[in-house]
Amino acid sequence: MTTVSLTDVAGYLPGAGVPAEYYTRYPGAEDKLRHSPMFRVPAMRHHVAPGQTNVDLVESAVQPLIERHGRREIRSVDVLLVHSQLPDTPFVGAGTEVARRLGLRPRWLIDVANAGCASFVQMLELARTLLTSTDARTALICNAQSAAGQLFTQSEVRGLAQAAIPGDGCGVGYLTTSAERPVLGVVTRHLPEYGGDMVAELEDGRRYWEPGTSQLRIGFTEKGVTQVMERGNRLVPQVIGELCGRLGVPTDGIDALITNQPNRAFLQNWREAVGVPAHRHPDTFDTCGNLFGAAIPVTLDQSLRSGRISPGDLVVLAGFAHAGDFAAAAAVRF
């Protein structure tokens, strides 16, 4: 069977860091969720600049790959997969514009709309499937997140507990049919029974495309937050355990665990559940906030560049999406 490697990753964070005070000093209305573990505020995050698009983020994130592998090699990728958290344009995904901007002509070009915070793992598995079942040999997978500086800074949203958690950024991965950094296995789990539990809402009850003045926000409730915390705490260790079981290694044998990062409570609960100490569970939450789908590749990129991952390490990438409708884990031998 063809071996597929996560040959390289890169990340990009827009602008200077935005401190927590940008939100905590905002005179917003009282929010019952403000003291929930789900919404404990990170120290910093990054925001897109006015007019900065998901495609701009991807273009900046890919530049280190071009510098390391050459523009011709990146331009010749066979597969392009793009996940955009807060799409810039209705109807049309970012993938075609990414290809145009980078000069790509991929055989497979797919905009991924589901899998949210775990979409990097989903795209890793989708790219791996294409590279092993067709004559495609290279793939570029991209996670762009731009909701923080656009959706959560609105005047009526900024004072809510949910607003201070997200950050903006982009992470990308380059896959090849090689044995350099082999993808050892992937576990994905769709849970449609939780589909639709995360909703966007407007105070006047209109649908988001209908004219009006109320501002879009995530429809969090105390009951909903409790359910998300329970599901997330359960699902991520489950997929990690299933993956390690398939590989024949104990979960505490993971050298580096890279997860999505909704909040500190999840991060602590996940590593304790699988027996991985904090120094082997790098995260960027306090410097970047919740990067949604971009969190895994951005944190992986920073961990590699800082030397927290060594040659031969078993690295597990894991996370869950939305209110628990998807969870996934992947193992890579670096």
- Helices 295-305 and 119-133 cross at an angle (nearest 10°) of 80
The per-residue pLDDT for 24 is 86
Q: Pairing mode, if any, of strands 138-145 and 79-85?
A: parallel
Q: What is the pLDDT of residue 54?
A: 97
Q: Note the pLDDT tens digit of each residue in 261-277.
A: 999 999 999 999 999 99
Amino acid residing at 93: G
Distance CA 217, CA 245 (A): 39
**In this structure, what token pair is assigned to residue 176?**
């090849």
Encoded amino acid at 142, one letter: C
Question: First CA to last CA across the chain, in angstroms?
Answer: 19
What pTM, to 2 d.p., does this model score?
0.97
Report the alpha-carbon distance of residue 320 to residue 311 in Å, rounded: 27
Share of the chain above pLDDT 70, in %: 99
Summarize pLDDT for 71-94 with one digit per residue, the tens: 999 999 999 999 999 999 999 999
Place of tokens 């193992």: 331
Query: Quick one: pLDDT band at residue 1, thresholds 50, 70, 90?
Result: confident
Q: How confident is the model at residue 27 (pLDDT cuts 50, 70, 90)?
A: low
pLDDT at 29: 60
Are residues 171 and 143 in contact, defined by beta-carbon separation less than 8 angstroms? yes
Segment 192-220 shows an average pLDDT of 94
Alpha helix locations (H) across the chain?
21-24, 54-69, 71-75, 95-102, 119-133, 222-247, 264-274, 285-288, 295-305
Distance separating alpha carbons of residues 239 and 256, to the nearest angstrom: 16
> Residue 96 pLDDT more than 90?
yes
Task: Inform me whether the pLDDT recorded for 26 exceeds 80.
Answer: no
Query: pLDDT by residue (tens digit) across 65-76?
Result: 999 999 999 999
Q: What average pLDDT score do residues 328-334 get?
A: 97
Query: Residue 146 CA to chain centroid, in angstroms?
Result: 11
Domains (range + CATH), the chain: 5-180 (3.40.47.10), 185-333 (3.40.47.10)
What's the angle, vertex CA 321, arms to CA 181 and CA 175, rounded to 5?
Answer: 20
DSSP label of 331:
E
DSSP-based three-state secondary structure for 155: coil
The helix-helix angle for 264-274 and 222-247 (nearest 10°) equals 30
- Over residues 213-259, the pLDDT tens digits come to 999 999 999 999 999 999 999 999 999 999 999 999 999 999 999 99
Query: Is residue 32 scored above 90 in pLDDT?
Result: no
